[in-house]
Amino acid sequence: MVLAGCSAIKLGYSNLPQLSYWWLDAYLEFTEDQSPRVRDALAQLHLWHRQQELPRFAQLLTQAERLAGGDIAPQQACGLYDGLRQRLAAARAQAEPPMVAVALTLTPQQLRHVAQRSERNNAEFRRDWLALSPEALRDKRFKQLADRAEMVYGTLEVPQREALRQAVAQSVFDPRGMLAERQRSQADLQRTLSAMQAPGLPAAEATRLMQGFLDRLQLSPDAAWNRHQQALLQEGCAMAAAVHNAATPAQRSNTVRRMRAYQRDIADLAAP
């Protein structure tokens, strides 16, 4: 949300149940019986999030506003990420029961469609990231990160771009490892959903299976990948701090105004 324009926040958030349904349906192709149940579950989740979570997001934005006026340390940037991670954990806990309920109704055809869609996405990932030369890969990642930063700061100044280029050049970013982890989690999902189709499966066991998958999605069984992810996180926090600390006073003032505008938007969205 902090990387989007104010009007985009309101429009996107208000339409989140429909957008989420379209995304899920692209993977699962819901049946006529499943469709209204999924739509209702998404609407209920959205209502809960609007009432319970948006005020907590506003607190994170207040924290970001306080930091935006001065220099920040990588640990402070990571602190904002930790707050976001807590909010995602709360959303996961709220979403688990309807996820289990829908997963228990999936057909073998739908499971095959999930696998096919995942493989198409993997093919796109290979084309977009693995087919690039090292130089092209660095250029693409720099542009991606610069575009995101400019949503907050406006046009980046030369020192900011230099800090970002240096960070990208030294990055541990590993698209091949990322693809391998994606494929591991996709296979894990297939096994989990297949196991949940066992006749007479107790509800508690179905919940345990889903929770296990989500736990492994958050913390991979691959210890080497977890170390890589932690290194990438620390790198990202340092990168965010370096770009911010190279910002001009005008850019920082503009960022503070953006944070306040986002808070007003969230207050409007959270209002009964």
Cα three-residue angle 145-183-111, rounded to 5 degrees:
120
Residue for token digits 């935006």? 68
pLDDT tens for the chain, 272 residues long, are 344 444 567 788 889 999 999 999 999 999 999 999 999 999 999 999 999 999 999 999 999 999 999 999 999 999 999 999 999 999 999 999 999 999 999 999 999 999 999 999 999 999 999 999 999 999 999 999 999 999 889 999 999 999 999 999 999 999 999 999 999 999 999 999 999 999 999 999 999 999 999 999 999 999 999 999 999 999 999 999 999 999 999 999 989 988 898 888 888 888 87
State how many domains the chain has: 1
Is the dihedral angle over the CA atoms 235, 237, 241, 247 positive or is it negative? Answer: positive
* Structural tokens at position 1: 């949300």
How far, in Å, CA of 270 to CA of 272, rounded? Answer: 6
Domain housing 24: 6-270
* Residue 1 domain-assigned (yes or no): no
What is the spatial distance between Cα 173 and Cα 179, in angstroms, rounded to a whole number? 12
Nearest to 106 by CA among 44, 26, 170, 194: 194
Distance of alpha carbon 213 from alpha carbon 114, whole angstroms: 16
Nearest Cα residue to 192 out of 208, 177, 176: 208
